[in-house]
Structure 1
């Protein structure tokens, strides 16, 4: 076997040289370990807070937040396998398992997070826009149905990547997951990337439209101080989540398509493939970083979650009580059609 710094491995004079793209994973391993260590306590605390929250599944926004938390937990479960795989010292069976199962789980979690963040942004705009509160989109039953559709769609797209047959590959230190795929597996993988990119583009359009409407409402309310305060809060909420969405997921999708061309051997130049792989890994790391910030999102956007956390700290209790009273007063002013128990899915 050639030294780690070599671009090629294997192959005699009659064999095609194999391009190694994943022999520089040391920095990624360190950063992934840091992300895992930092995000694990926050997400476990989020699980505890949602369990203790009396209305964790009775509000429209909480449905999306809970499902976002489930996606984060899936990513946390899969991340140790990626860390071991990137180390290059894992057993062969563990590396194959990562390629067939845990890597696919990472992408299921990634696109579930994209969908639910988009739903949260849309919901935040609709919650703050009083004229839209009576729409069916604001009903809990519809939100649960929508999240179920997202999970089923992602499983339908992604699971074949786990179950399609693979080809035998000689054991090696640097295993490329695409080398395990047969032709039909590579074709399905390319289709998966296309479908998930389409999901991302649709979610991004919804995010941009919500941001545009929130800013339009803000500009149109400049002459009314009361409307200006509400519109500024709505625009701030939507813009904050939208910025997190853009920073986390847009760079990855800029690199994803050309990298897929390298995986499917449309791009064959080794140096180009190595650069695309490193670009994909850096932008994927940026996407995974949302694990650290989602607990802050739960705290900021969901008052019952915030109240549960504040009960743990005496200095926050007075603020928590004040927020509870304010939220109760706001809910009494909302139309009774916004939450209907019989619509529960």
Structure 2
């Protein structure tokens, strides 16, 4: 687990900076949070913070440097918190992408998904649903295990706990499949709309911008969460004695940890998503770093002017 702990530590440090900045920016822009997309972004930030607070426990446990009581606490509490935040992120990613499609491409049939009150209610339902699925893993009885340097969380579980854990994984996988269907359908329809507007130059620019941002978010979603779920389902049955081969268990464990690391990595890049999709957030960030952002903006504008001038010179020369 050595390489994993190093990477998790780097992720923790980088994401801590970005998420603290995001929290401060959303606090500054709280009066302007009147859009459903912003509600989903704030809930995504909440899921990121929950995951961020759980990472130090996982790092210490994987290093074997934590006290025995702390390792048991991680298995019973913070490891489950990681999965709560992970699936909350999946749900809110799907809502953000779907809402963007409805807002820009299907305004007549957007219904209540863009209503702020409905967005808050839907966010609350998602959190309650995840807690209902996950919290029993914290409360079901465990068994005594001899004190050792490293601890496998599955060794603490009794048979009923193992079966509920397996059920939890399959329920969360169903949530992931539904969220993925919404993500891919919205992105596909956005690309289709982009191709249908190629003859209208004014609509094409706006459509290309929105479709490009939706496609980028969908690709990030796919790279972060699809590999994990490909490995997670077969790994889930290893503690239930369906898979008994030790080498196969080891490969599935390493695959699960590698893809989980890939899933956790999204908390480093979510602040960029907040900046790109939320205009009040951008304004707040510009208030926090007015000089540096203005300097970079001027630099970009100068580059654009130079490029335009060069194109005009080439056109004249031709």
TM-score using structure 2 length: 0.90
- Shift, 1:56, TM fit: 5.0
Aligned to 1:293: 269
Aligned to 1:283: 259
Structure with the higher helix share, 1 or 2: 2
- Shift, 1:204, TM fit: 0.1
In structure 2, runs of 5+ residues without a counterpart are: 298-318
**Structure 2 contact 19–45 (Cα < 8 Å) conserved:** yes
Is 1:162–2:138 an aligned residue pair? yes
**Structure 1 contact 49–305 (Cα < 8 Å) conserved:** yes
Is 1:116–2:116 an aligned residue pair? no
Aligned to 2:302: none
**2:2 aligned to 26, 32, 40, which one?**
26
- Shift, 1:133, TM fit: 7.0
Aligned to 1:68: 44
**1:314 aligned to 291, 300, 312, which one?**
291
In structure 2, distance between residues paired with 1:285 and 1:252: 9
In structure 2, distance between residues paired with 1:319 and 1:147: 36
In structure 1, runs of 5+ residues without a counterpart are: 1-24, 321-345
**Structure 2 contact 103–110 (Cα < 8 Å) conserved:** no
Aligned to 2:314: none
Aligned to 1:103: 79
- Shift, 1:315, TM fit: 4.8
**Structure 2 contact 33–280 (Cα < 8 Å) conserved:** no
Is 1:171–2:153 an aligned residue pair? no
TM-score using structure 1 length: 0.83
- Shift, 1:40, TM fit: 0.3
Aligned length: 296
In structure 1, distance between residues paired with 2:84 and 2:250: 25
- Shift, 1:264, TM fit: 1.9
Query: Compared with structure 1, are the counterparts of its residues 316 and 286 closer, same or farther at alpha carbon in structure 2 (3 Å cutoff)?
Result: same
In structure 1, distance between residues paired with 2:12 and 2:37: 26
**Structure 2 contact 231–255 (Cα < 8 Å) conserved:** yes
Aligned to 1:325: none
In structure 2, distance between residues paired with 1:52 and 1:318: 22
Is 1:125–2:101 an aligned residue pair? yes
Aligned to 1:137: 113
